Amino acid sequence: QKELVRHYQTLDRRINDHLGYLAEVYMAQVLWNGQRKTLAGRFFHSNEDVTLPWRFIYIRHRTRLGTAKEMEIDVEAAAAKEHWICESKWWHGRKVGHAEVESLLRKAEDQREADGEGLETMRVWFFSQDGFTNKAEDLMKEKGVLWSVREDLDGLLESVGLRRLPNIVNKKGIEESVS
């Protein structure tokens, strides 16, 4: 029975990893399809609408700023003078906290330094399936971080002409979105 439990836990972790990656792909698709568009700020918890660059030079998944695992960027996008650093968390029953936001801000600052003086705009975007703690939200507001929850990502997808996130049934038989 112990082996069965270990096997289940391994499969459960892999499924959650894949769901997290799927959310990253959706974020990247919002950036690709949103080029040259102005998106409603409410989807990013911003008082101002967000205009995406005319053309991204690249959009990459899971790039590293250094050798440490915590230096991985889920989605990175660059235009001429604008850079996006994006993070996605697929957690069940756990909100993203202050520490995760601080980590993302450190990555953005490291990228800003790497880009040099030609960079005019650094956008930081955080997505969380289960949302954010109040302390994390306060920090994101203070630092100008864009953030989205599941409903926001659905709205962004529709805004750029893509389908909403699919729904799945979790272990308890409750329908849940895949984002």
Q: What is the pLDDT of residues 157-177, one digit of tens each?
A: 999 999 887 776 555 545 555
Q: Which residues are CB-neighbours of 31 under 8 A, at least 6 positions away? A: 52, 56, 59, 75, 77, 84, 86
Q: 121-128 and 82-89: which strand pairing?
A: parallel
The first and second tokens of residue 101, run together, are 């936001």
Identify the pLDDT of residue 121.
95
Integer-rounded Cα Rg, in Å, for the chain is 17
Q: CA 25 to CA 54: how far, in whole Å?
A: 20
Question: What crossing angle do the helices spanning 134-143 and 98-115 adopt, rounded to 10°?
Answer: 20
If you average pLDDT over residues 148-163, what whole number do you get?
95
* Averaged pLDDT score across all residues of the chain: 89
Residue type, 155: G
Identify the pLDDT of residue 167.
76
Closest CA to 126 of 113, 110, 108: 108
Examine the pLDDT at 69 and tell me if it is beyond 70.
no
pTM of the entire predicted model: 0.87
Examine the pLDDT at 22 and tell me if it is beyond 50.
yes
DSSP state of 160: T
